[in-house]
């Protein structure tokens, strides 16, 4: 296994069940991100992609969004020493539209400062929507085949393959996730990595993200190891 993707669901419900404001669930959730990220690095995983903020989350109350932006900025700043200590490289996928300029600045700093690290590739999906990603990719491909584009002299029928298309996605040069973990018992993709998860194995737990543990992570990995991945083929018995 090279790549795990996680939909971290249930922060708000975790807080509400305890009579706490929703932002306390998000705060606790960010602490679990640190624990699980370090565990993945310890296990030798190459890539970990976390669904932090979807492009649909802007529909939430402004006060919650403002808190999430401050929490994100604080996380980016406070985690830099830990990323460096654990030799982790940070990448971020999603649209930067609507993100505050100070958050974008911290994103750029963390990406630049960890670019030469060779351990776990930690990818945060922020203001991310997979349909949006695919549409943007198609637009860029079209532009590249227009006059003066980088593929203006090429025949699209001969050039556009699945591999070609993948290089226009946010996740270009990343391996597809082997395993998708989703917390809080939800059984849907929620517009997350629709292309990239085509052949991933799914593992769902009723546990809310703030209660997710390294033991559950290892359980998911162990379960993955027992599955046969046929990719449409028939394996020899």
- Return phi, psi of residue 213, to 5°: -130, 165
As given in the structure block, the two tokens for residue 140 are 């860029």
**Residue 108 to residue 80: CA distance in whole angstroms:** 12
Q: Which residues contact 155 (CB under 8 A, 6 or more apart)?
A: none
Name the one residue in this structure whose structure tokens are 């249930």.
10
As given in the structure block, the two tokens for residue 79 are 């985690």
What is the set of active-site residues?
9, 57
DSSP 37: H
Q: Which helix (H) or strand (E) holds 33?
A: helix 22-42
**Residue 237 to residue 235: CA distance in whole angstroms:** 6
**Residue 33 to residue 88: CA distance in whole angstroms:** 14
């Amino acid at each position: 296994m090279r790549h795990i993707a996680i939909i971290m669901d249930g922060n708000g419900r975790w807080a509400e069940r305890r009579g706490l404001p929703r932002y306390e669930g998000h705060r606790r959730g960010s602490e679990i991100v640190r624990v699980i990220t370090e565990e993945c690095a310890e296990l030798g995983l190459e890539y970990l992609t976390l669904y932090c903020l979807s492009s649909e989350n802007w529909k939430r109350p402004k006060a919650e969004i403002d808190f999430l932006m401050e929490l994100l900025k604080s996380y980016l700043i406070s985690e830099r020493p830990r990323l460096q200590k654990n030799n982790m490289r940070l990448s971020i996928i999603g649209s930067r539209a609507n993100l505050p300029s100070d958050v974008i600045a911290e994103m750029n700093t963390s990406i630049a400062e960890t670019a030469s690290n060779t351990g776990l590739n930690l990818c945060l999906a922020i203001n991310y929507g997979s349909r949006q990603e695919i549409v943007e990719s198609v637009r860029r491909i079209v532009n590249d085949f227009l006059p003066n584009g980088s593929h203006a002299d090429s025949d699209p029928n001969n050039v556009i393959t699945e591999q070609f298309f993948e290089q226009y996605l946010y996740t270009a040069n990343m391996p597809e996730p082997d395993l998708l973990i989703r917390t809080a018992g939800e059984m849907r993709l929620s517009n997350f990595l629709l292309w990239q998860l085509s052949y991933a194995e799914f593992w769902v737990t009723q546990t809310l993200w703030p209660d997710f543990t390294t033991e559950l992570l290892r359980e998911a990995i162990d379960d993955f190891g027992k599955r046969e991945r046929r990719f449409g083929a028939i394996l020899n018995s």
